Structures are given as structure tokens and as C-alpha cells.
């Protein structure tokens, strides 16, 4: 009763929205600025070079952004440079498969187990009789591309591209030089596509699937786009900027669960231990992490560690998650 009287009195002097905003005031901009300042001079790791053109991306670029579920953007550093999305695209295409066929199809036709092996492992497919991997390693991601309901290669690409656009809230373009550089050197992914096909775990023609997968990975995004893509997941599947529903809210938890268990390849355990957030990394230097129901944190910085994860990005997100106390299971130490 007393609380209600107090609220009524406050509401008379302040607009009600402001009462609640003030009750939960978090200075996102200050935390983003601190993360940027603290890690921008870290000089460890190296750009990916197995896709030759990625080695030419300036290594010192660094961007950090928080995008809230209502579309507010708090950023520091590089926001405009378009880098290739690479593996950060994988959960979004898995989401398209979920939207078209339901989460059970992802479980039975691809798998949802973390492999504990590197992103491009062929051994993961050989180890388990069920050939079960998950959509966030190359094998599972190539299988996800093959599962998209499509009647031609062009249609498959249009759907995947349209879905990435819906998550970003704008029309994205393929970085053709990245595509060519990657497709010309795609021997490992070609082997994976053919192995999957051999085991009945690829659902469209291997070379076409490989081309569409490589286009998906070569799609250009900037740090802000990546934040918006994550914020769409934080906002239960609705893009905060465009208001478009991209994924049924009922499927968001399954998607985030795969990101939590497999988003960092063979470093996924280490990541959850230290940051406590579902996230996905890519060899282009991007990372997106999701605080369900609240916001996304995205970073861009090309130098990677041995597991293929962006070093400055990982540190910045851990720091932000620790400062804001948003680890899923309670505040992680961030170390
Ligand atoms: N396109 C890259 C590949 O297939 C993605 C790898 C990654 O970002 O981890 O090798």
C-alpha cells in the first residue's frame, strides 16, 4: 500500500516511463567506452589467412557495440567497415531452418551436440555413427544450408540472404573478393560437403550447397549490423529497428542453447565458464553475444587465437558481461 502511494506520488511529478527508466538506469555507453579503451591496444593473435584475403584486413580495427532490445545503440570504435560475417552467419541460417521445419528437424537431421573439435573438423563426422554434429560447426552449417526449402541454387541463396537482411534490418551485400578467395580455397569444406552427402546427411547437391554456404560466409556486415542481428534474438525474434518478426519467439531458446554450447567451437566450455552468454564467433573477426530479453553485444577485431576466435572481441564481451552482471547463471567473474 505504502509503495503504491509512493509510486502514485512519483508518477504525479515524473512521467511514468521515466520512473521505471530511472529505477533501472544502466550506463551502457560508459561500459562500452571502457571495454574499447581497455582492449584496443591488445596486440595478440593473427588474422585468419587460410582464406587469403582475410589476412589483408587491417588488424588494428576494433569496434564494440551494445544494441538493446528496443533498438538503442551504444558504440565505440569501428562501426562502418564491412567485414565478412563468416561463421557468425551460422545461427541465423539454423534459425531459418527452424522457422521452416521446426527445431526437431535441426536435432534429427543435423544434430545439436558440441563436437569439442575445431570448426572445420572432418573427424567429428567420422567419430559418431549418427553423424550428429551441430549447425555452428562447418559440417552442420553446410547441412543447414542444404536443408533450406528451395527449388534451385538461386532460390536457396535468396532465402538465406533475405533472412540475414531481416536480422540486420537492411540489405546486405556479398563481398565478392572474399567469396572468390574463399571458394577457390574451399578444399576442406568441399570434403565436408561430400562426406555429409556420402552419409545421407546433406540434403541438396554438394557443390551447389558449398557455393551457397560460401556466399553466406562472404556476406558483408559492419559491427552495428551484427549488434542488430543479436538484438533481434534478444528481442525474442523481432528486429527492434524494423519491427519485423524473423523467428518465432518459441524457437529463440533452442537457438540460443546451441550458441551457448557450441558458439566458440572447441573453446565453447571456456567461453561459457568465463562469460556466461550464448554467442557466436567468426574468422572474419566478428562476435555477437546475446543477453536474452535485454540486449546484444557485438565486436569486430580481426586477430584470432588458435581456436579461431577474436581476441580483443572475447575480452571486451567478457568485460562488459562482468561489469553488467548479465551472465545467464548469475554474474560471472569475467576472467
Ligand atoms: N567460411 C569459413 C569456413 O568455412 C567460416 C569459418 C569460421 O568463421 O569459423 O571456413
CA of 10 to the centre of ligand 1 (A): 53
Is the beta carbon of 189 within 6 A of some atom in ligand 1? Answer: yes
**Rounded CA separation 168/183 (Å):** 24
Query: Residue 8 burial (CB < 10 Å; 0-12/13-18/19+)?
Result: exposed
CA-nearest of 229, 206, 237 to 289 is: 229
pLDDT in tens, 163-222: 999 999 999 999 999 999 999 999 999 999 999 999 999 999 999 999 999 999 999 999
**Rounded CA separation 169/177 (Å):** 24
Is the beta carbon of 285 within 6 A of some atom in ligand 1? Answer: no
- Name the closest-CA residue to atom 6, ligand 1: 87
Confidence band, pLDDT 50/70/90 cuts, at residue 121: confident
Domain extent at residue 159: 88-217
Q: Is residue 243 part of a domain?
A: no
CATH code of 146's domain: 3.40.710.10
CA-nearest of 245, 265, 320 to 289 is: 320
* Total number of domains constituting the chain: 1
Q: Is residue 152 part of a domain?
A: yes
Calculate the dihedral angle through the C-alpha atoms of 146, 148, 153, 158, rounding to the nearest 10 degrees: -140
Is the beta carbon of 216 within 6 A of some atom in ligand 1? Answer: no
Q: Is residue 167 part of a domain?
A: yes
Query: Ligand 1, closest atom to CA 138?
Result: 4
CA of 326 to the centre of ligand 1 (A): 28
Q: pTM for this structure?
A: 0.91
CA of 120 to the centre of ligand 1 (A): 7
CA of 141 to the centre of ligand 1 (A): 10
Q: Is residue 157 part of a domain?
A: yes
Write down how long the chain is. Answer: 335
pLDDT value of residue 330: 86
Q: Is residue 20 part of a domain?
A: no
Q: Which of 92, 133, 138, 175 gets mutated to test ligand 1 (max ligand atoms within 8 A of its CB)? A: 138
Q: Is residue 12 part of a domain?
A: no
CA of 138 to the centre of ligand 1 (A): 7
Q: Is residue 81 part of a domain?
A: no
Q: Is residue 110 part of a domain?
A: yes
Mean pLDDT of 288-306: 97
Burial 238-263 (b: 16+ CB within 10 A, else e): bbbbbeeebbeeebbebbbebbbbbb
pLDDT in tens, 220-276: 999 999 999 999 999 999 999 999 999 999 999 999 999 999 999 889 999 999 999
**Rounded CA separation 144/231 (Å):** 22
Amino acid at each position: 500500500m505504502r509503495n503504491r502511494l509512493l509510486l502514485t506520488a512519483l508518477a504525479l511529478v515524473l512521467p511514468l516511463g521515466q520512473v521505471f527508466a530511472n529505477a533501472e538506469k544502466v550506463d551502457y555507453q560508459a561500459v562500452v567506452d571502457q571495454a574499447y579503451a581497455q582492449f584496443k591496444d591488445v596486440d595478440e593473435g593473427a588474422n585468419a589467412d587460410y582464406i587469403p584475403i582475410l589476412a589483408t584486413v587491417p588488424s588494428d580495427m576494433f569496434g564494440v557495440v551494445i544494441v538493446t532490445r528496443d533498438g538503442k545503440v551504444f558504440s565505440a570504435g569501428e562501426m562502418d567497415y564491412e567485414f565478412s560475417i563468416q561463421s557468425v552467419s551460422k545461427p541465423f541460417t539454423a534459425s531459418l531452418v527452424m522457422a521452416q521445419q521446426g527445431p526437431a528437424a535441426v536435432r534429427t537431421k543435423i544434430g545439436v551436440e558440441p563436437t569439442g573439435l575445431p570448426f572445420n573438423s572432418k573427424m567429428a563426422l567420422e567419430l559418431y555413427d549418427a553423424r550428429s554434429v551441430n549447425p555452428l560447426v562447418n559440417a552442420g552449417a553446410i547441412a543447414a544450408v542444404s536443408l533450406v526449402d528451395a527449388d534451385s541454387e538461386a532460390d536457396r541463396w535468396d532465402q538465406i540472404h533475405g533472412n540475414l537482411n531481416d536480422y540486420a534490418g537492411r540489405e546486405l551485400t556479398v563481398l565478392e573478393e572474399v567469396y572468390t578467395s574463399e571458394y577457390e580455397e574451399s578444399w576442406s569444406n568441399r570434403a565436408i560437403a561430400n562426406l555429409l552427402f556420402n552419409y545421407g546427411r546433406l540434403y541438396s547437391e554438394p557443390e551447389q550447397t558449398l557455393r551457397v554456404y560460401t556466399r553466406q560466409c562472404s556476406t558483408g556486415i559492419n559491427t552495428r549490423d551484427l549488434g542488430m542481428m543479436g538484438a533481434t534474438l534478444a528481442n525474442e525474434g523481432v528486429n527492434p529497428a524494423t519491427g519485423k518478426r524473423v523467428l518465432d519467439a518459441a524457437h529463440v531458446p533452442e537457438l540460443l542453447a546451441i550458441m551457448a554450447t557450441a558458439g566458440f567451437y572447441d573453446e565453447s566450455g571456456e567461453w561459457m565458464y568465463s562469460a556466461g552468454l550464448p554467442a557466436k564467433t567468426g574468422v572474419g573477426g566478428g562476435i555477437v553475444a546475446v543477453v536474452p530479453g535485454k540486449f546484444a553485444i557485438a565486436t569486430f577485431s580481426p586477430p584470432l587465437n588458435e581456436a579461431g576466435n577474436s581476441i580483443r572481441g572475447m575480452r571486451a564481451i567478457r568485460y562488459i558481461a562482468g561489469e553488467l552482471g548479465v551472465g545467464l547463471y548469475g554474474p560471472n567473474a569475467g576472467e
